[in-house]
Amino acid sequence: MTRSSRRPALAAAAALTAAALAAACGSSAATPPPVTAPTTAPKAAAPTAAPAGSTPGAGGDWTSYHADQSRTAAAAASAPLDPARPLWRAELGGKVYGQALAFAGRVFAATETDRVVALDPATGAVVWSTSLGTPLRDASPVIGCGDISPLGVTSTPVIDPATGTIYAVGEVTGPGDRVSRRLVGLDVTTGAVEVSDTVDPPVPAGESQAPLLQRAGLALANGRVYIAYGGNYGDCGDYHGWVVAVNEIGAPDMRSFEVAANGRGGAVWQSGGAPAVDGSGNVYIATGNATPDPPEGGPDPELYTESVIKLSPTLQPLAAFKDMAAGGDEDLSTANPVLLPGGQLFAAGKTDIGYVLRQSDMTQVAAIPGICGSDPDGGPAYDRSTNRLFVPCRAGGIQVVDLTRRVVAGRLPGANGAPIVTGADVWALRYPSGSLHEYAASAGTQVQSVDVGPVAPFVSPTSAYGLLLVPTVDGVTALAGPSGVHLPAGG
């Protein structure tokens, strides 16, 4: 079945739920307009992948997890944010686990109720809202474990600036609670459905799709959308880690890579972080442990588990590094790899060892012990001006890693969520209570802390248009500095 023949059915389903969706939305600053889910003609051509390490545009757009293909989470400051104060709160009727995105003068978010929403950055009013389908309302009985319910869109979407399309993957249910994952591409201006594909990986015969969770953020490169899978909380069922890729334009032509083909497990979840992509379009992921847990002390015996893997644009394995110290549940996929200058990358997992690797062949450059001491959890941020990494720690604090000296350099107190770097400042959330913390990247001192309300685990803020955008348990909250919102020209 072609993509174009799938669009009318999805759009009709979205239209049927429009009234209910509108009732579920709200903003403390403005009343949202009616929800729309129109259809339009497909895009004409696929884009060229942005080079790795490219930074968000001068207009302040933020189009993927942690801003760029290298996943540095760094962006130029678009406006002073000290002091930051809440500007608006958009209640969207569901939890938001992924980062908010910003493009073409709009803010975008996806919810666990299987909705993608565009918001006005000045007021938080809903511009359009489109449903991907029906989420899994009571996940645990169907999956056998898990801690997210309802289960809809959990990952961070990705925007293709060349075509003006936002892609999201939602967990959708059919008759008899049959679970599948649907990739939907929407026009950023109207919310019109342009792509709709089932993107479940090609699991072995007799293996169920149900235990899989699409947690890692989406990546876009080489005219393809890259989608990673792991298991749910509790690691129930027979599952493997996977990465699949489908074309943006034309037939999906799915490509796939399977972790632990000789066993089970090897989740690619990365605490919500997205795969990194280098300038040649190669894709980098981190994988977790085999299931059931192997013996403590390492190494994990299964193929490509507890590893950082370099994949070709068509997902052929090119090189891999296995953390030989990782055994048991010492998951290396608790964070995404970050591509660094000079052809290197950084990865860290529950062994509390930070690895600096060569991108070319994935050989080790350095091992930095003492990262967090409490499981690094979430995508690190990299500040080029200080050559420092900022790694979130589950038990609290943001671990500073000095790459020049290759040592840990103190811990920033307060936050435990995945940080971002905006200008000379580091911003990170504390989950689940929901406070947003600002630190001076160079001095390592806290500048301010603002309460934003409860948030989901591992969440990361977004910096765009002079705003800080925070995903919350019921929508998105925006904070602004003294100069307010800074929209791009024409926005």
pLDDT, mean over the chain = 88
Q: Per-residue pLDDT tens for 205-224?
A: 888 888 999 999 999 999 99
Cα distance between residue 128 and residue 35, in whole Å: 5
Distance of CA 228 to the CA centre of its chain: 10
Q: What is residue 72's predicted lDDT score, i.e. its pLDDT?
A: 98
pLDDT level of residue 488 (50, 70, 90 thresholds): confident
**Partners of 182 in beta bridges:** 170, 198
Q: What is the pLDDT of residues 45-55, one digit of tens each?
A: 444 444 443 44
Q: Where are the beta strands (DSSP E) in 146-273?
A: 158-160, 165-173, 179-187, 193-198, 212-213, 219-221, 224-231, 242-247, 255-258
Please say if the pLDDT value at position 315 is more than 80: yes
Under the banding of pLDDT at 50, 70 and 90, the label for residue 142 is: confident
What's the pLDDT band for 491 if we cut at 50, 70, 90? low
Each residue of 72-84: pLDDT tens digit? 999 988 788 989 9
In tens, the pLDDT along 346-362 reads 999 999 999 999 999 99
pLDDT digits (tens, 9 = 90+) for 446-469: 999 999 999 999 999 999 999 999
Range list of H helices, 82-229: 139-143
Contact by Cβ (8 Å): 240, 265 = yes
Tell me the C-alpha distance between 386 and 405, whole Å. Answer: 11
Give mean pLDDT, residues 266-271. 97
Hey, is 128 helix, strand or coil? Answer: strand
Q: Give, as one character, the DSSP assignment of residue 254.
A: -
Q: Can you tell me which residue has the tokens 């129109």?
A: 38
d(CA 425, CA 418): 14
Cα end-to-end span (Å), the chain: 37
